[in-house]
Structure 1
Amino acid sequence: MAYLITGGARSGKSLFAEQYASRLASRGIYIATSRVSDDEEMRHRVTLHQQQREQAAFRWETLEEPDQLALKLDEIGSMADQRQREGESPPVVLVDCLTLWLTNRLLIHEASPPEMLEAEVSRLVESIAAYRHPLLLVTNEVGSGIVPAYPLGRTFRDAAGRMNRMLAERCERVFLVVSGIPVDLKRIAFTWDEL
């Protein structure tokens, strides 16, 4: 049961995802994909997000996974399956965010053939499709702006667009968050049967 949440920067995607998670389960696993390194501004953002989750009434366990996201989801899914067989409700999993994960993988594969990055994205999509418990995926909508002036930026924009499209096909619900307002895209989506 995967749900995709997309939108622009600072649109309210993460807040919506966290609120949605609290309605799906009594506790959650928050998978953070950022790679903080020496970026002071990013470190401040991460600290702020961690403090907000700690102060929330909803119980979060935070896992840092900037690289091996598919493997981590497979592991959590297996543990959740086992707990469910034992009569325990599985936690909701929230991944924030897929475009940061994609950035991490793109930088590793920058000099590699494009097929290597595409294979990692496909592997992630397969793991998400196989995940049988509540799973919220936050991603950025990056294709609505100007065309990046440099090749790596264009590669990222195109890869993110393909990844988001593949995930939208597999997810039960897809939300676009604009100015803090979530819109359920699959509920209002056009279908060819309407013609």
Structure 2
Amino acid sequence: MAIFITGGARSGKSGFAEAYAMKLAKQGIYIATSQIWDDEMKERTAHHRATREQSGYGWRTIEEPLALAELLERLEAEHREDAERPAVLVDCLTLWLTNWLLRADYDTESGQDANRYDELHAEADKLIAAVADYTGPLLLVTNEVGSGIVPAYPLGRRFRDEAGRLNRKLAAVCAEAYLVVAGMPLDLKKHAFAFGED
């Protein structure tokens, strides 16, 4: 069962996702998608890991910044027959998208613009399929980035648009979807408008 969790920065979405995972299973697999580029990110990552370890819950952390679909497929195969499956928490999809967007936009080897957005879209499609096929408890944390001002630079606008598209497609294949605002999770699917059939 896939669960989509979105919200703004520091809204409480990761805390909600971790608490929900603890309700769903006796142990969990925490998939961290961040890449550590500087000391601030290193400290932030260490803080999050220490917080998880102090929770007393059996988290196993896997760092995977790019091959998320393949990892979910592997975990599905490994745990499909388990009587008690671990809860898998991906935190976060926005960083995963950033990692792919930077690869699609810029070739680090040549130092040139890459414009490989087809590769980005193919990876997003693979991820959506892997989430739809996952049968155990799976929690996906992402940021809601489209509510602010329009970014002033092209890559920022593309990121906002790609994040919105990815979030919309993932929420559609998830059994549950929550928006966390000021620490309060709101059940989006329960309150979503639906056109009636005539």
TM-score bracket, shorter-length normalisation: over 0.9
Instruction: Number of aligned residue pairs: give it.
Output: 190
In structure 2, the partner of 1:94 is: 89
Where 1:190 maps in the other structure, the secondary structure is coil
In structure 2, the partner of 1:73 is: 72
Consecutive unaligned residues in structure 2, runs of 5 or more: 106-113
Aligned CA-pair RMSD:
1.2
The correspondence of residues 108-119 of structure 1 with structure 2, limited to 5 A, is: 108-110=103-105, 111-119=114-122
In structure 1, the partner of 2:131 is: 128
* Alignment deviations for residues 60-109 of structure 1 (CA, whole Å, 9 cap, x no partner): 00000001000010111100114x2xxx3110000000000000011111
TM-score relative to the length of structure 2: 0.93
Displacement of 1:40 after TM fit? 1.3
In structure 2, the partner of 1:29 is: 29
In structure 2, the partner of 1:150 is: 153
1:19 aligns with 2:14: no
TM-score relative to the length of structure 1: 0.95
* Alignment deviations for residues 103-156 of structure 1 (CA, whole Å, 9 cap, x no partner): 001111112242221111011000010001000000000000111111111111
Contact 2:101 2:117 in 1 (8 A): no
CA distance in 2, matches of 1:163, 1:109: 15
Displacement of 1:194 after TM fit? 8.4
In structure 2, the partner of 1:9 is: 9
* Alignment deviations for residues 3-28 of structure 1 (CA, whole Å, 9 cap, x no partner): 00000000000000000000000000
In structure 2, the partner of 1:51 is: 50
- The alignment-based identity, stated in percent, is 56
